[in-house]
Amino acid sequence: MQITTTLEREAPPRLGKHFYQFYKGREDFFRIVTPFLLSGLRSGEAVFWVVSQAVGVLEAVESLQRSFDISRFIEKGQLLIVPAERWYLERGRFSERKVTQRLKRFVDEKMALGYTHFRGAADLAWLDGRDWSKFQSYETKIDEMIQALEAVALCAYPIQHCSLTQTKEVLEHHDSVFLSKL
């Protein structure tokens, strides 16, 4: 397994890449995810952000809004921010079928609007042990979709909730770690 890093401000991530981020707290999370998503918006990519209850949609919007007015991106359909519990879960459990349908619908809708490149970030603080293995299986499948679409994706895992085995699995299912300039 090769671990590479990408620093957003030094070199934009290559298309078709599936990154991971381990974070310790909110500041750590936002320091990496916010510039990652803003870069996609500035580049004209269709962007989605799946946020957990730990972060919340309002705080996610505020983190982007601090950099510049994002209302135009929302209005023209370039940006979608959605709660993780609505995106990933069905009756409180992870549903690969449901999330795959949602992702395909997002891509189809954005392509109809003229977008050809996609960027997404997901906060996985909602993920617990009950759904871990099903979600890691999904990570493998979604990697193929990311490559086919030449999309860029960032999965953010709260390190304090990951066991050593889970940490190893995250490393195995992603191309590279994504870091911000410290």
Domain CATH for 70: 3.40.50.300
Q: Is the pLDDT of residue 136 over 60?
A: yes
Instruction: Read off the pLDDT of residues 18-68 as tens digits, 9 standing for 90 and up.
Output: 888 888 888 888 888 998 899 999 999 999 999 998 888 888 888 888 877
Could you tell me the pLDDT band of residue 14, with boundaries at 50, 70 and 90?
low
Q: pTM, whole model, 2 decimals? A: 0.84
Could you tell me the pLDDT band of residue 133, with boundaries at 50, 70 and 90?
confident
Cα pseudo-dihedral 160, 162, 168, 170, rounded to 10: -100
Q: Is the pLDDT of residue 157 over 80?
A: yes
Q: DSSP class of residue 24?
A: S
Q: DSSP class of residue 126?
A: T
Domain span at residue 22 reads 4-179
Q: Where are the alpha helices (DSSP H) in the chain?
A: 26-42, 57-65, 71-75, 84-88, 96-112, 132-149, 164-172
CB 123 within 8 A of CB 116: no
Burial profile 130-144: b = 16 or more Cβ within 10 angstroms, e = fewer: ebbeebeebbeebbe
- Return the residue matching tokens 């993920």: 127
pLDDT at position 8, please?
A: 45
Query: How many structural domains compose the chain?
Result: 1
